[in-house]
Amino acid sequence: MARGISLHIGVDKVDPAGYPLEPWYQGWHQVVLSDKYNPVRFDCDFQIGWEGPLQSCEIDAQDMYKIASSQKFQASMLKTENATTKNVTKKIQSAARRLKDGDIFFLSYAGHGAQVEDLTGDEDDGSDETWCLYDRMLLDDEMQRLYTEFAKGVRILVVADSCHSGSATRAGARPEVDRKKTGIREVPTRTAQAIYEGNKKMYDQIQMSLKKRRRPKASRILISACQDHQLAGGGAKNGQFTAALKEAWQNGKFNGDYAKLSTLINDSLKRSYNAEVQRAAGRWVANEQHPNFVRVQGASKKAMDEFIKQRPFTI
């Protein structure tokens, strides 16, 4: 009998200590240290970090957990402070050791998305995509390596509700958006660069250590919140993508395959966007997004073809 294991990640804020900003972004500040007898004045650079608050990512993780549990997955969650690179990596590696041919791993992420400079030459646009976990950014090179640990015949389903989740291509110039109001799940471009520069040595070493690519054996489907040039919006209850997925899923009444699910999500997001445009009376609206449906073939084309045609979240 096939086994399903799932992991659901929701990050509503990150640890500023793990996201230090480069001095050119922070600015320089004068500090006065004094005691009763020996006042000291000097200039120094504060290690200011980025917190990136969001409001509905933990709820998204909870809702994905509920879907997985309803379909008999052995489900677990990592939320905010517990969603560290160490914990996420351990959970995925544990699943990879336990799952065999015919089993499935379901991974969901809700949080900020960003990019760093690609040093290994595997990205056409020169940027690697990241998930902003609590302690630091998790690079897509790291995720690719983790996926290669799964055995042939295992199915991997990834659902990502974050900005730039279609691929590793950064969005071009666009108007400023009110991230607090819209819940946009993107690290602003200048901030993302400052975060990368603040820990550049560490991120560069991680990339170079993973330069040698490994071929995946497991079949993988990614359904992401938006295309590479788009932003993923949030709300008080759910991210817009997660809300659309829940609407399409209909508490388990959905009947169709992964492609149909992606189409229904896209239709829902399009209706929401059109309604927002009407309310805005023709003003520019920030959060147009179309989900991306990506298939990564493993060692077996037949297994990939069968995976695509299955009802979503099927063990």
Least confident of 13-27, 48-62, 69-83, 85-99: 13-27
The answer to whether the beta carbons of residues 191 and 50 sit under 8 Å apart is yes
Give the span between the Cα atoms of 46 and 52, in whole angstroms.
Answer: 18
Residue 152 vs residues 73, 101, 302: alpha-carbon distances, Å: 20, 6, 12
What is the tens place of the pLDDT at every residue in 170-205? Answer: 222 333 444 444 456 667 777 777 788 788 889 888
Q: Compute the half-sphere exposure of residue 68: CA atoms within 13 Å on the CB side of its CA.
A: 26
The answer to whether the beta carbons of residues 148 and 214 sit under 8 Å apart is yes
Instruction: Sketch out the chain's domains with CATH numbers.
Output: 4-12+26-308 (3.40.50.1460)
Give the span between the Cα atoms of 115 and 140, in whole angstroms.
Answer: 9
Q: What is the pTM of this model?
A: 0.83
Mean pLDDT over all residues of the chain?
81
Give the span between the Cα atoms of 200 and 116, in whole angstroms.
Answer: 9
What is the tens place of the pLDDT at every residue in 258-299? Answer: 999 999 999 998 888 787 777 777 666 556 777 788 899 999
> What pLDDT sits at residue 52?
85
> What pLDDT sits at residue 74?
98
